[in-house]
Amino acid sequence: MSDRIVIVGAGHAAGQLVASLKQKKHAGEIVVIGEEPYLPYQRPPLSKKFLAGELPAERLIFKPESFYDDDNIEIRLSTRITSIDRRGKVLLSEAGEAIHYDKLVLAIGSRVRTIPIDGTDLSGVHYLRTIDDVTRIRSDVEASRRAVIVGGGYIGLEVAAVLRTAGLKVTVVEMADRVMSRVVSPEISDFYQIEHASHGVNLRLSTGVTAIRGDDRVSSVATDAGEAIKADVVIIGAGIVPNVELGREAGLDTDDGIVVDAHCRTSDPHIYAVGDCTSHPSETYGRSLRLESVPNALEQAKTAAANLCGEAATYTEVPWFWSDQYDLKLQIAGLSQGYDDVVIRGNPTDRSFACLYLKDGVVIAADAVNAPRDFMQSKALIAGKACIDKESLADTDRQLKELAS
Ligand code: FAD
């Protein structure tokens, strides 16, 4: 195929898409347009090793510049696309440039959810999504003793772990009554609350932030419990919002993401969408999903590349995700929402265990803490909609893969 493929967004999904198109020897031009000034890079280390100063920025880059050094590939950075003319197959950039495509891929990701309270514009207050955000956070953290993290989701807790390890006094303020409540069960939340408390992190659960105070620079965070928590630096991790507007304004079907089919095609057959910005059908769960995870971005990019190259690939992966906090690796397979029973495999006090979630007797998800084998093997149970008795699932003398067969 010799279509001119234009990819809008130069993040994780775009990086994989170019790699897959190259691997499939796509003959036409490939143009990647991204608003950030960086080549496609990995975000997960931003709240982990990069924030901790253990990884240089160069190591975040998905593929080196030489990888894109190909006659067929053009990368345009620091360029924002503002509209799509679907009839003319033309994109318009913020600078007014018109860019033609034969096939378009929207890989425009998501952005941070901002919180509508006073003081978020004070110096020392940060959101965290990009390399530039973390560079600013790191320089502030160096001169700080007390940090307040707004939001006890996985990003907030990863940041808490890094800053606490660096010796700051850390307080996490979370509106829900437990941490990571959107993605994990109460059993896992409990475990992480105990871990963070044992490292000296102050957790304020069921507590909302009402304002961030200071003159020029932040000095405290006010809560709805009437507290003013002293802070030299504040990091807000209040979730993300998918970037759907570009697609919606062009008339593509959208719900809480840009709607794609199992081939990653939008409601316009010439336009694909991949990664955080999409809402896709899940065979495993029988409903639409919008996922915020690297594996989803990578697998959708591979699926879109195959279809753009004339194959008929479908995306059927079981969702998965991970989070690193202290020396704990949390790996999540599947989605546990709606479970009616849980089996704990192993013992949380050993700091290595897994929770397996069942619905009507079927394994639908697993959360594994420092238990990579159970995580890997649980994926087959979830994909196969396995129905296994609870005693067998809990029996650590038997591997989950034995039960799958
Ligand atoms: P993005 O990586 O967001 O890339 C989209 C790009 O498109 C951005 O650079 C954006 O600026 C650009 N763009 C948007 N609109 C336009 C436009 N109109 N014109 C031009 N460019 C545009 N996932 C995990 O699985 N495990 C983890 O441990 C993990 N940790 C994370 C930690 C942090 C701090 C963050 C922020 C995310 C983390 N994630 C993690 C999520 C993961 O990084 C995302 O799911 C992934 O980056 C999605 O890739 P994407 O290409 O869809 O979007």
Report the separation in Å between the CA atom of 110 and the middle of ligand 1, taken as the mean of its atom positions.
6
pTM for the full predicted model: 0.97
Asked if 308 and 319 touch (Cβ cutoff 8 Å), the reply is: no
Q: Which numbered atom of ligand 1 lies nearest the CA of 109?
A: 53
Secondary element (H or E) of residue 391: helix 390-394
* Residue type, position 214, single letter: G
Longest CA pairwise span in the chain (Å): 64
Q: Cα(397)–Cα(394) distance, rounded to whole angstroms?
A: 9
Asked if 235 and 156 touch (Cβ cutoff 8 Å), the reply is: yes
List 366's β-bridge partners, or say none. 333, 356
Report the separation in Å between the CA atom of 371 and the middle of ligand 1, taken as the mean of its atom positions.
27
Report the separation in Å between the CA atom of 13 and the middle of ligand 1, taken as the mean of its atom positions.
8
Pocket test for ligand 1, best of 43, 106, 183, 293 (most atoms within 8 A of CB): 43
Chain centroid offset of residue 158 CA? 13
Average pLDDT per 10 consecutive residues for the chain, totaling 405 residues:
94 97 96 98 98 96 92 95 98 98 98 98 98 97 97 98 98 98 95 98 98 97 98 98 98 97 98 98 92 97 98 94 98 96 96 97 97 97 94 96 83
Asked if 381 and 388 touch (Cβ cutoff 8 Å), the reply is: yes
Ligand 1 atom 27, closest CA: 44
Q: Cα(30)–Cα(38) distance, rounded to whole angstroms?
A: 17
In the numeric block, which tokens belong to residue 345?
């495999």
Q: What pLDDT does residue 283 have?
A: 87
Give the chain's end-to-end CA distance (angstroms, integer).
Answer: 41
Report the separation in Å between the CA atom of 238 and the middle of ligand 1, taken as the mean of its atom positions.
15
Q: What pLDDT does residue 14 have?
A: 98
Asked if 353 and 190 touch (Cβ cutoff 8 Å), the reply is: no
Report the separation in Å between the CA atom of 43 and the middle of ligand 1, taken as the mean of its atom positions.
6
Ligand 1 atom 49, closest CA: 12
- List pocket residues of ligand 1, CB cut-off 6 Å: 8-14, 33-36, 43-44, 46-47, 80-81, 107-110, 128-129, 155, 243, 246, 275-276, 292-295, 297, 321-323
Q: What pLDDT does residue 284 have?
A: 86
Asked if 316 and 306 touch (Cβ cutoff 8 Å), the reply is: no
Q: What pLDDT does residue 405 have?
A: 67
Pocket test for ligand 1, best of 78, 93, 108, 271 (most atoms within 8 A of CB): 108
Helices 12-23 + 294-308 axis angle, to 10: 40
Ligand 1 atom 52, closest CA: 275
Asked if 316 and 283 touch (Cβ cutoff 8 Å), the reply is: yes
Distant-in-sequence, close-in-space partners of 304: CB < 8 Å, separation ≥ 6: 17, 105, 263, 264, 265, 272, 274
Helix (H, G, I), strand (E, B) or coil at 49: coil
